[in-house]
Structure 1
Amino acid sequence: MLAYARALLTGSEQGRTAYLAADLRDPGLILDAAELRGVLDFHRPIALFLVAVLHFLTGADQPRALVRRLLDGLPSGSYLVVSHATGDQAPPGVGAIVETYATTAAPLVLRGLADVCRFFDGTDVLDPGVVRLPLWKPDTPPTDPETV
């Protein structure tokens, strides 16, 4: 995958992209990486996307502290985007999925909405706030918000 990504990540100065193979549990390595410093302008706001990754960090990994360390390393005005599997209103069968992941090197940790909101402590959360994905800026409102 890394070789494929590197082949795809060549482009013009306006469209430069970097790929960094790193462990999210080492935010210092990420923030200091030459690959990032060569592409991102740390004098301007940066968007940090932690999509479909935080639910693979256990409490022992201290995920909120990791997010805070990454945010603290970014310029003022930067943005944080998070998606996270949650146990709130979980569909039937999700317990079996969690059990399956528990047998792997990356267990699935379902956090509740209140816990997910804590990743944003110390930030200004934009409207509509921390909500379930179908409720975030929907083109059309869901027919039954209890089922999304």
Structure 2
Amino acid sequence: MAGKVRVDLTVPSAARMYDWLLGGSNNFEVDQAACELLLDAAPTTKALALNNRWFLQRVVQALAKEHGIRQFIDFGSGLPTQNNVHQIAQAVDRRSRVVYVDNDPVVLAYGRSMLDENDRTAIIAADMVDTGQILGHPDFDRLIDLDQPTAALFVSVLHCLPDDAKPDELVRRVVGKLRPGSFVVICQLVSEDPRLRQEVTDLMLEQTHGNWGRVREKCDVHRYFEGLDVQEPGLVDVTDWRPDSELQQRLRSVEWTEYGGLARVP
């Protein structure tokens, strides 16, 4: 058994901040204070978080129902909330298997307690850029057969990586392990306003003590999808990715967006 990992309650976590924005309770005062600063800079960020979560639910359901995907790898999965990937996929087919990957100790603690009784899911403690550790993990071998179609999810997480972590190379490494007919889901925070990009990036770097990346531009996200077959409706603000209610179309973030989509490995 691994030793206990100490959680520094004086430093906000991007995962716990996201949990607070979604109305969750697995966060601390330091995370809430950081979110208030973020909302000062980008007041519609709660709408952005909600729409991103709804996008995750829609795209996983589409992968399971329409494309028959039964294996999912969720990179940087974040804190468990309602309608997680395994719940959506297993509602379509109870045999669906999901591996979550995260390195936040609070995420790992809550995730393991939630998944203890579900033998078709697991959470791996790893930095998502460490693909060797992830793909070589016993739980990965138990649940994921890379000779079968698989979905790799990078949902609202690549902006947590700095440029020197080479998020585009991470995507290519993972895609290179997937068989043709597999799928990749990617979205990340973008803004076409250079002032906002810098302000929010500086804020998050300061609040998380450097444990973040940066707000990028749409052209950066396009590079993640090079060589992949982007599915309809293309690369969009995820609010517009096959919305299933008028509320989801009306509730929009203004200052920045989650931008991305779904692509097939040719």
Q: TM-score range by the shorter chain?
A: 0.7 to 0.9
Change beyond 3 A, Cα 1:3–1:59: closer
Contact 2:200 2:215 in 1 (8 A): no
Q: Distance in 2 between matches of 1:26 and 1:126?
A: 28
Contact 2:197 2:215 in 1 (8 A): no
Q: Name the counterpart of 1:102.
A: 205
Q: Name the counterpart of 1:63.
A: 167
Q: Name the counterpart of 2:225.
A: 120
Change beyond 3 A, Cα 1:12–1:122: same
Q: Name the counterpart of 2:239.
A: 134
Aligned-residue offset at 1:66: 0.9
Contact 1:31 1:70 in 2 (8 A): no
Q: Which amino acid letter does the alignment assign opposite residue 219 of structure 2?
A: A
Q: Distance in 1 between matches of 2:112 and 2:213?
A: 29
Q: Which amino acid letter does the alignment assign opposite residue 204 of structure 2?
A: Y
Q: Which amino acid letter does the alignment assign opposite residue 106 of structure 1?
A: N
Contact 1:25 1:61 in 2 (8 A): yes
Query: Of residues 44, 52, 55 in structure 1, which corresponds to 2:148?
Result: 44
Q: Does 1:7 align with 2:113?
A: yes
RMSD, matched Cα: 2.6
SS at match of 1:83: strand
Q: Distance in 1 between matches of 2:178 and 2:160?
A: 23
Task: Identify, as 1 or 2, the structure richer in strand.
Answer: 2
Q: Name the counterpart of 2:185.
A: 81
Change beyond 3 A, Cα 1:63–1:12: closer
Greater than 3 Å deviation, 4+ residue runs: 10-13, 92-96, 139-143
Q: Distance in 2 between matches of 1:57 and 1:3?
A: 22
| Structure 2: gaps of 5 or more residues | 1-105, 258-266
Q: Deviations over 1:27-75 (max 9, x none)?
A: 1211222211111122211111111210011111111011100111122
Q: Name the counterpart of 2:41.
A: none
Aligned residue pairs: how many? 144
Q: Distance in 1 between matches of 2:234 and 2:193?
A: 18
The one of the two structures with greater contact order (alpha-carbon pairs below 8 A, sep at least 6) is 2
Contact 2:197 2:216 in 1 (8 A): no
Q: Distance in 2 between matches of 1:142 and 1:5?
A: 30
SS at match of 2:190: coil
Q: Distance in 2 between matches of 1:95 and 1:131?
A: 22
Q: Distance in 2 between matches of 1:138 and 1:22?
A: 32
Contact 1:49 1:80 in 2 (8 A): yes
| Structure 1: gaps of 5 or more residues | none
TM-score by length of 1: 0.82
Contact 1:31 1:73 in 2 (8 A): no
Q: Distance in 2 between matches of 1:138 and 1:89?
A: 25
Q: Distance in 1 between matches of 2:150 and 2:243?
A: 24
